[in-house]
């Protein structure tokens, strides 16, 4: 049962347009019906937690895109040679978002990653966003979301940060648990060391996954 305000006719039209746009991106990989199902399901997942409804369709599009990219990664053997990582924490508003930001920055397209939470919050930690901006990484357009079967299935490595038994466990999957302080409720000057510790962990992981540095 979906626990949020009923979808408006305008939102439904917008989501149909989103599905058609994504269908053009994944032409020959996924059918329109499959993509429509992902788009509307993603909308429901985001709408359940949203405190601001203005950008729901935009966020749903981003979420559906990420899920479809992960599913394509699973199905396409040529993509499976690209290392994939899933970062998980509780609210997907702090540590896992910093890890994802650092990973994208340091990997520079050589690997792919996603993030998720066991109990996703409604918005990112503003001071975490500021701390990352200080090092030139903009994560302001990211958003808290739950982990999904697509993310989990596509990941070569699952990195957990504080979600304990609530994090998914798949036999045979490589897991790492990073013991890092939770930035929730901490001022910016106490978040900076956490940010830097996350960078060191991500850098070390990339060193394992991508032993050869970019030219």
- The reply to whether 149 belongs to the active site is no
- CA atoms of 65 and 84, how far apart (whole Å): 16
Closest alpha carbon to 168 in 104, 97, 89: 89
What does each C-alpha distance from 15 to 56, 105, 111, 146 come to in angstroms? 10, 30, 29, 20
What does each C-alpha distance from 163 to 33, 94, 101, 119, 189 come to in angstroms? 34, 12, 19, 9, 24
C-alpha 86, offset from chain centre: 8
Residue matched to tokens 């503003």: 126
Which of 100, 163, 194, 198 is catalytic? The answer is 163
Which of 22, 112, 159, 167 is catalytic? The answer is 167
Structure tokens at 13: 């039209």
- The reply to whether 105 belongs to the active site is no
Which of 19, 89, 112, 161 is catalytic? The answer is 89
Residue matched to tokens 């997907």: 92
Closest alpha carbon to 119 in 141, 154, 93: 93
Angle separating helix axes 32-47 and 56-75, nearest 10 degrees: 130
- Any residues with CB less than 8 A from the CB of 38 and at least 6 apart, and which? 22, 64, 67, 68
C-alpha 63, offset from chain centre: 8
- The reply to whether 5 belongs to the active site is no
**Catalytic positions:** 89, 163, 167
């Amino acid at each position: 049962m979906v626990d949020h305000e009923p979808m408006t006719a305008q939102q439904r039209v917008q989501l149909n347009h989103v599905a058609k746009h994504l269908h053009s991106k994944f032409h020959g990989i996924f059918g329109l019906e499959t993509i429509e199902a992902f788009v509307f399901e993603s909308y429901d997942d985001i709408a359940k937690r949203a405190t601001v409804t203005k950008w729901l369709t935009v966020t749903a599009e981003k979420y559906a895109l990420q899920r479809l990219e992960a599913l394509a990664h699973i199905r396409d053997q040529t993509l499976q040679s690209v290392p994939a990582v899933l970062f998980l924490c509780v609210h997907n508003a702090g540590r896992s978002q910093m890890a994802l930001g650092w990973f994208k920055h340091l990997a520079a397209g050589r690997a792919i990653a996603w993030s998720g939470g066991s109990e996703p919050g409604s918005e990112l930690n503003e001071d975490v966003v500021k701390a990352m901006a200080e090092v030139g990484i903009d994560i302001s357009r990211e958003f808290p979301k739950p982990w999904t079967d697509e993310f989990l299935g596509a990941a070569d490595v699952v990195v957990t940060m504080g979600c304990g038994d609530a994090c998914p466990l798949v036999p045979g999957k490589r897991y790492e648990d990073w013991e890092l302080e939770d930035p929730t409720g901490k001022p910016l000057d106490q978040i900076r060391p956490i940010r830097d510790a996350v960078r060191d962990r991500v850098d070390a992981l990339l060193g394992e996954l991508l032993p050869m540095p970019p030219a």
